[in-house]
Amino acid sequence: MKKILKLSLFAVLSGVIIFVGIKLVGSALNRIEKISRENEMVVESDDTVYASDSSDPIEQRVNNPNNDAKPISAVSYEDVSAIVDAVMPAVVSIDCTVPVEEYNIFGGMTTYIQKTSGSGFIVSQSNKQLFICTNEHVIKGASTVSISFCNDYVADAMVVGYDTSYDLAIVSVDISKIDKNTLSVIKVASIGNSDDIKIGDINIAIGNSLGHGQAVTVGYISAKDRTINVDGIQSRPLLQTDAAINPGNSGGPLLDIYGRVIGINCAKYSGVLIEGIGYAIPINNVVATINELINSFSIAEGEEGRIAILGKDVSEGYSKGFSMPMGVYVFGIEEGSRASESGLMVGDIITMVNGQEILSFDYLSERVGHYKAGTSVTLTVMRHQKNKYVEVEINVVLDTLE
């Protein structure tokens, strides 16, 4: 009897051990399957950089960073929600329609309308216009642009101008087309100082993620002065953040812990080995450009300025091969033009306009087109003298396009 009892207890105990073992193995297998399934979903994305799809000049305003502010280590979720509440009236969603042409099966062209979404923030307001900053790739090729404000009011907008080198654009909304209730709640964003940002600082991203409306993500500044290649073109230096940046976030603000704009969200890395790598344009790099674009609103078509020269790009390859500075090589100046009277010489290499770097002739033309003909701009040129290049500054009055 005792022997039978012992065998029974042993069988029960063995069953329990086997049951527990099966459960543990089952749980492990389920976990491995889940991770594997997640990895399969991530693998669908390759390792590519995706673009996450006149008034008073804007200034870098220090909004109340008082001495009573909590130290960074004490920032809480309540602090973030308060910042979001304060900043959201300055943030907008942008929806565009873009005509797309493609060949059909009969060899002809078919045009269809593609809808795209992005984000932006209000940077200036005059008596007649509201100016909104976003990315150039958000509005590129758009036939219509509409703005959704924080109270869901929607208004049509027009593209004022853009700067392809910085992936920057300004759109405007006619004040008379905005209802009084909306005007009473929206506000201009406060501009911070991206040069003061340190690696490890907390930052907040707001944007129209996936076109579903404004969403908030929080992270840290991971790195500064990063450059990436988008469609084979190297970007200007960017801030890197681990705050989630998704399609639709493009053009939205990256904020410091005081709610000031320190960057413009523009891109992210995506891939199986990549986690939390987003990018934003440092606001200090584009304040001057934003003001130029806003001021260009008052320039009538045909009154844009130009520099009357023939120029050729000195690319990185030419620069290394011929020991020349990068910029625009002047190989001709139109006779009788303002440029011919300025002291600019054939052989000069234009490297900057009003302190902004110039790397191509197309960008030089785009840049001076932000100014009205007759305006004086300062060119920084590299001039070859005594077997070396020396820097010279020249004031040039812009000619008309004709």
User: Element (H or E) spanning 38, and its range?
Assistant: helix 2-43
Strands (E), 189-296: 202-208, 214-226, 229-230, 233-234, 238-241, 253-255, 261-270, 278-282
Q: Select which of 117, 137, 172, 235 is catalytic.
A: 137
The DSSP annotation for 49-112 comes to EEE----PPP--------TTSPPGGG--HHHHHHHHHHHGGGEEEEEEEEEEEEE-TTSSEEEE
Closest among 164, 177, 192 to 130, alpha carbons compared: 177
Q: Cα 93 to chain center, whole Å?
A: 14
Active site residue 126: no
Question: Which runs of consecutive H residues, i.e. helices, occur in 236-360?
Answer: 287-295, 316-322
Q: Select which of 167, 256, 348, 399 is catalytic.
A: 167
Closest among 375, 74, 347 to 202, alpha carbons compared: 74
Rama region for 374: left / alpha / beta (φ>0; ψ in -120 to 50; rest): left
Residue 150 dihedral angles phi and psi, to the nearest 5°: -60, -20
Q: Select which of 124, 250, 296, 337 is catalytic.
A: 250
Could you give the C-alpha distances from 54 to 134, 235, 275, in angstroms and in order?
Answer: 18, 29, 42
Active site residue 212: no
Active site residue 384: no
Q: 243-280 burial, b if ≥16 CB within 10 A, otherwise e? A: bbbbbbbbbbbbbbbbbbbbbbbbbbbbeeeeebbbbb
Question: Which runs of consecutive H residues, i.e. helices, occur in 248-343?
Answer: 287-295, 316-322
Catalytic residues: 137, 167, 250
